[in-house]
Structure 1
Amino acid sequence: MRDPDLEAGPVADALLAWYDAHARDLPWRVSPAERALGVRPDPYRVWLSEVMLQQTTVAAVRAYFHRFTTLWPDVTALAAAEDGTVMGEWAGLGYYARARNLLKCARRVVSDLDGRFPDSPEALRLLPGIGPYTAAAIAAIAFDRPETVLDGNVERVMARLHDIHTPLPGAKPELTARAATHTPTTRPGDYAQAVMDLGATICTPKSPACGICPLRAPCRARAAGTAAELPKKTPKKPKPTRRGIVYLARRDDGAVLLERRPDKGLLGGMLGWPGSEWGETAQERPPFAAQWDTLAGEVRHTFTHFHLILTVKTAPLPDRMNPETGEIITAAGFRPSDLPTVMRKAYDLWRDGVA
């Protein structure tokens, strides 16, 4: 049976009217009032924010976005930055392949595209680190293309709006098709941000505020009383646990021994403590022969696909040595904040033990 309330026009109109009054104030966003005055989003800032927001919350990204745009205000500046500096500033955001692809993408845009981001999702997807969602988001938000943007917030809104009970991730094609029917040709960039804002602030995972939702009238899940249980998800398999050892060596003058991990793989390209492979058991692999003392306690960290438990061992770093692995970083050049989170946890365990 045809439902006029769930057609593209009524849903988009209601959502845009709500967005005009309630849009979140985000540092990378051009507000609806500014857009109405003709202010256009900067594709560089849209791209940077979307890459940072992958698998990361808005609250966590704000400070990083401000720091990056202060250090590198445009894509040309970022393309010219040193890899180690960018990786250090990224430390703590996680998913470090994003930072490597960030640099590759910036350099490609500068070298091959005269510093201009393309405006179509097809061309955007040819750039490093830009997948279907990110390409659609950039095309819609930066260039006002009527592209369907489907992140976790939009999935939730569509599942509830249409009362779809197929579990994710299997429901993605159906949710994408539903979302596409609502994407307007007028103000598609604002609409994309509006539906994401709705999911983040009103149509939240728990206790959705249906009473003040601009889509409460046409929402089928609200009418059926099923909103709180949607979207359904296929149960995840338990994460395995891996173990490893890291070796912290420090000289009396404060210099430390670090090694840069391979470009590919977890924490790729990041500086960290020398250590063993991560597996079912931890195998000794000290960076040099010494009496290594085991610290009390352990480091626990969770990655996307597994839990990690690290044993931390320490020894003095000899005054004169050329390490076979890693590099000696002076006290002046060592910033614990540049370490990825799991390596910083190891440093914190050592620091707390000697404090």
Structure 2
Amino acid sequence: MRLFKQKEEFRKVLISWYLREKRDLPWRRTSDPYHIWVSEVMLQQTRVETVISYFERFIDKYPTVFDLATANEEELLKVWEGLGYYSRVRNLQSGVKEVAANYGGIVPSTRGEISKLKGVGPYTAGAVLSIAYNIPEHAVDGNVMRVLSRILLIEDDIAQPKNRKIFEEVVMELIDKEDPSSFNQGMMELGALICTPKPKCLLCPVQQFCGAFHEGKQEELPVKLKKVKKKIVPVFSFALQNEKGEWLLMKRPETGLLANMWEFPMIEMEKNISAEQALYEKFGVKIKHLSPEIRFKHIFSHLTWEIQSFHGIINELPLKQFQFFSEEEVEALPMPVPVLKIWTELKSR
């Protein structure tokens, strides 16, 4: 590939640009591998602007590996509340428990060892190793694949997991052995700020090395074939109160989607029936009148909920899995984003 003949100059230009233009982010002010690990987990499928405040609160509450390893899960989910993809924080805690138990609280500094930890994939492993330990290891995410697809005119589909190996090998060929931290972060930053899905080529510091720019193909790359359409599921959500004004909530199962989170009774609809009938058939709860509240969509990675929420009054506790909570108690429970949205709407009335 043409770039390999100019790789020293490419590294120099990229790293110089990164050190000059990088955003001031809290996880860039530390070399603590645990803190960097937390940031990388939070940044998965979440915008940087959103992560900043969550990261700061999280590290303030759980400053060390041992603090997180011994954390109460319900409190942990509450701190994570709103970030979504809750399996991330469960896996993070599991991995951290391994570090506390087997490595004396020190995050492993080899790819072989760190990759064995729960929830640590090839990207996270490479990011922690290169950023925290300054070890030349690849850290290939979507941003990096987009950048390299354009610079090196790689036309392999980046949505295919098998093609990630191509990009990992390219990074290991290009990476700066003296400053792998700045190199990897420079690649990520370039993809986040300049080499975006709609590239800002005139602002690009490495434009001179870019094959796609010189051939006018920057809008065509990377190749990413469309995924199958997500399943759309209609959902009823029932915000029910007793005569004391307490709210009826239930805890989701320990495994699966939104595990162990608290929610108003929810029903994924499979047939066209009324909300009152659905509530009776599913939970045995009879309510003559339910008033409709907000209607909205909530998008997961594999499906979309089309949620219609209702409010009503209930006189007795229907099933063992339900509990009544005061408003203050509800505020303390970890709830998923769609439930938070309904709760916020109810409180604003």
Q: TM-score, normalised by structure 2?
A: 0.89
Q: Structure 1 residues 336, 290: CA separation in 2 closer, same or farther (over 3 Å shift)? A: farther
Aligned mates of 2:61, 2:20 — CA distance in 1: 33
Residue 41 of structure 2 aligns to which amino acid in structure 1? V
Conserved? CA contact 2:294–2:342, under 8 Å: no
Query: Deviation of residue 270 (structure 1)?
Result: 1.0
Q: Structure 1 residues 297, 59: CA separation in 2 closer, same or farther (over 3 Å shift)? A: closer
Indicate the percent of aligned positions where both proteins have the same amino acid. Answer: 31
Conserved? CA contact 2:74–2:334, under 8 Å: no
Aligned mates of 2:20, 2:284 — CA distance in 1: 59
- Mapping of residues 172-251 of structure 1, within 5 Å: 172-206=164-198, 208-251=199-242
Size of the aligned set, in residue pairs, is: 341
In the alignment, what sits opposite 1:8? 7
Residue 235 of structure 1 aligns to which amino acid in structure 2? K
Aligned mates of 1:113, 1:292 — CA distance in 2: 58
Structure 1: gaps (5+ residues): 31-39
Query: Deviation of residue 236 (structure 1)?
Result: 2.1
Residue 172 of structure 1 aligns to which amino acid in structure 2? R
Query: Deviation of residue 138 (structure 1)?
Result: 0.8
In the alignment, what sits opposite 2:298? 301
In the alignment, what sits opposite 1:313? 310
In the alignment, what sits opposite 1:257? 248
In the alignment, what sits opposite 1:111? 101
Residue 152 of structure 2 aligns to which amino acid in structure 1? H
Query: Deviation of residue 210 (structure 1)?
Result: 2.1
Aligned mates of 2:307, 2:114 — CA distance in 1: 39
Residue 341 of structure 2 aligns to which amino acid in structure 1? K
In the alignment, what sits opposite 1:167? 157
In the alignment, what sits opposite 2:138? 148
Query: Deviation of residue 81 (structure 1)?
Result: 1.8
Q: TM-score, normalised by structure 1?
A: 0.88
Residue 27 of structure 2 aligns to which amino acid in structure 1? W
In the alignment, what sits opposite 1:18? 17
Q: Structure 1 residues 8, 253: CA separation in 2 closer, same or farther (over 3 Å shift)? A: farther
Query: Deviation of residue 175 (structure 1)?
Result: 2.5
Residue 189 of structure 1 aligns to which amino acid in structure 2? S
In the alignment, what sits opposite 2:27? 28
User: Mean alpha-carbon deviation: is it higher for 55-64 or for 75-84?
Assistant: 75-84
- Mapping of residues 57-72 of structure 1, within 5 Å: 57-72=47-62
Residue 25 of structure 1 aligns to which amino acid in structure 2? D
2:233 match: secondary structure: strand
Query: Deviation of residue 230 (structure 1)?
Result: 1.4
Q: CA RMSD in A?
A: 2.3
Query: Deviation of residue 253 (structure 1)?
Result: 4.1
Aligned mates of 1:236, 1:250 — CA distance in 2: 41
- Mapping of residues 337-348 of structure 1, within 5 Å: 338-348=334-344
User: Mean alpha-carbon deviation: is it higher for 46-55 or for 126-135?
Assistant: 126-135
Aligned mates of 2:72, 2:174 — CA distance in 1: 43
- Is 2:316 the counterpart of 1:325? no
1:93 match: secondary structure: coil
Query: Deviation of residue 179 (structure 1)?
Result: 2.3
2:238 match: secondary structure: strand
Aligned mates of 1:177, 1:218 — CA distance in 2: 18
Aligned mates of 1:127, 1:115 — CA distance in 2: 13
Conserved? CA contact 1:292–1:313, under 8 Å: no
